[in-house]
Amino acid sequence: MNNKKVISFIAVLMAVLMVVSLFVSIIPVSAYAVTEDEITAIQKQKSEISGKVKDCKERLDTLKQQQANVLEQKAALMEQNKLTQEQIDLAQEQIDLYNDMIDEKAQEVEEARTREERQLQKYRTRVRAMEENGGYNILAVVFNSSNFNELLSGVDDMGEIMNSDRALEDQYIAAREETEEIKADYEEIKTDYEEKQGELKAEQDELKKQMDEANALIESLADDIEKATKEYEAAQAEEASAAAEVSRFIAEYNAQKAAEAAQNAANNPGGTTESGASGGTSGGGDIGGSAGSNVTGTGSLMWPVPCSMRVTSRYGNRSDPFTGKTTYHAGIDIDGYGNDGQPIVAADSGTVITASSNSGYGNYVIIDHGNMKTVYAHMSGLAVSAGQSVSQGQTIGYLGATGRATGTHCHFEVYVGDSRTDPAAYFAGISYYNC
């Protein structure tokens, strides 16, 4: 009876263990929601959005510069308007003066005509009197004079009459000539007045046209700037959302890798799943590069190896993979899983200051981001050259194991100023493997 109970208990226990084992083996598979391809895809999407943000910023800056130029032009136009208005006021004063002169000349014409008519009437009266009296007869004056004094008086009277008539005629002619002269002056003043009116009207029309065009352009630019600002802000929000999504994907992926490593360790107690060589580690060495970047990065780094998120060697002191001695490791080693030829991308925008090779780092690239420098080593091949400007996420080389390396990986360093710093500070949730 007791033996049966023991046998039954053992059977149940084995069944439970089998179920638990099956359950444990299933968990990593079912929970593996994020893949490296998905991370690569969302990093690419984030890079595209960052490009969109840059384009929106450039368009907004261009519009603001155009607005500044138009406002400057408007200020110059307003100054010109002020000067033109002063000219208009001066011309108007001249016109008013001309009007006064015209009125004065018109009055002079009228007075001359009055004098002319008056002199002409006197002349006509004198002629009529002479005709009625039969004119002056010098013989009649001589014979009708009682004495010499009367004779002289008669002759004098006749001369005065003749002189008077001649004076009236001269006055008439002078008045008529003056009238014609005044008429000519009037016509000249009238012509000048009409020309001034035409010039003033043309200036006013041109000024109004220029002001209307300036105001329309200013209004249009204001609308464009408002629209571009909204697009830029929307792109920034989209970029921030994409960056958060990238961080979430990477963190989730690293958590999945950590769970997988823990399960493998539980399934293989006392053993190792991979050798140090498979992950790839870098030997010691040092490289240099001269500054000279003309492109400033964002300061927010992108993971440089899209196909792998696993770090096989930390920054700082470690056991050298070749000598076993404790040495300083200047960066982190990102496992390549043996995928030689897979892309390595620029962590940020900048200028390539070195694309070369040496015995320690193999094929390597140094990028100056303005605010920092990044190093990528042990590449199988280079995709850029020194002096070339690169954008964040652009392929700069390919995974390999050149130089002093134990396997396919990317040795990645970060410099702030001339000092190396731990690259892990720029990435959240890095998964460290066997290091």
| CA 83 vs CA 87, 89, 96, 333: distances in Å | 6, 10, 20, 73
* pLDDT value at residue 9: 47
* pLDDT value at residue 26: 35
**What is d(CA 386, CA 276) in angstroms, rounded to the nearest whole number?**
33
**What is d(CA 400, CA 307) in angstroms, rounded to the nearest whole number?**
13
**How many Å from the N-terminal Cα to the C-terminal Cα in the chain?**
54
**What is d(CA 360, CA 411) in angstroms, rounded to the nearest whole number?**
11
- Candidates 412, 356, 351; CA nearest to 381 is 356
**What is d(CA 98, CA 352) in angstroms, rounded to the nearest whole number?**
78
Specify whether the CB–CB gap between 383 and 352 falls below 8 A: no
Find out if CATH 2.70.70.10 is the number for domain 274-435: yes
| CA 102 vs CA 42, 151, 181, 198: distances in Å | 86, 54, 13, 19
* pLDDT value at residue 223: 92
Domain ranges of the chain: 1-31, 57-227, 274-435
DSSP letter string over 119-188? HHHHHHHHHHHHHHHT---HHHHHHH-SSHHHHHHHHHHHHHHHHHHHHHHHHHHHHHHHHHHHHHHHHH
Residue 22, SS3 per DSSP: helix
pLDDT in tens, the chain (435 residues): 455 554 454 444 454 444 334 433 333 333 345 776 777 787 778 778 878 888 998 998 999 998 889 888 888 878 887 887 787 777 777 767 767 776 776 776 677 678 767 766 776 676 666 666 655 555 555 556 566 566 556 555 556 656 655 666 676 677 667 767 767 776 777 687 778 778 877 887 887 888 888 889 989 989 999 999 999 899 888 888 887 777 777 667 666 666 666 666 666 554 333 333 334 556 555 555 554 556 776 778 989 998 888 898 999 998 888 888 888 899 999 988 777 888 999 999 999 999 999 988 999 999 999 989 999 999 999 999 999 999 999 999 999 999 999 889 999 999 998 889 999 888 876 767 766
**What is d(CA 237, CA 230) in angstroms, rounded to the nearest whole number?**
11
* pLDDT value at residue 173: 74
Residue 400, SS3 per DSSP: strand
* pLDDT value at residue 50: 79
Q: How many CB atoms lie within 10 A of CB 57?
A: 15
Contacts of 399 (CB under 8 A, 6+ apart): 305, 307, 336, 339, 340, 341, 342, 343, 344, 379, 380, 408, 409, 410
Contacts of 12 (CB under 8 A, 6+ apart): none
398: Cα separation from own chain's centroid: 37
* pLDDT value at residue 145: 57
Contacts of 213 (CB under 8 A, 6+ apart): none
* pLDDT value at residue 238: 86
Can you tell me which residue has the tokens 């033109």?
A: 84
* pLDDT value at residue 389: 94
* pLDDT value at residue 387: 93
* pLDDT value at residue 241: 84
**What is d(CA 238, CA 241) in angstroms, rounded to the nearest whole number?**
5
Q: Give 371's Cβ-side CA count (13 Å radius).
A: 9
Q: Can you read off the two tokens belonging to residue 44?
A: 């690419």
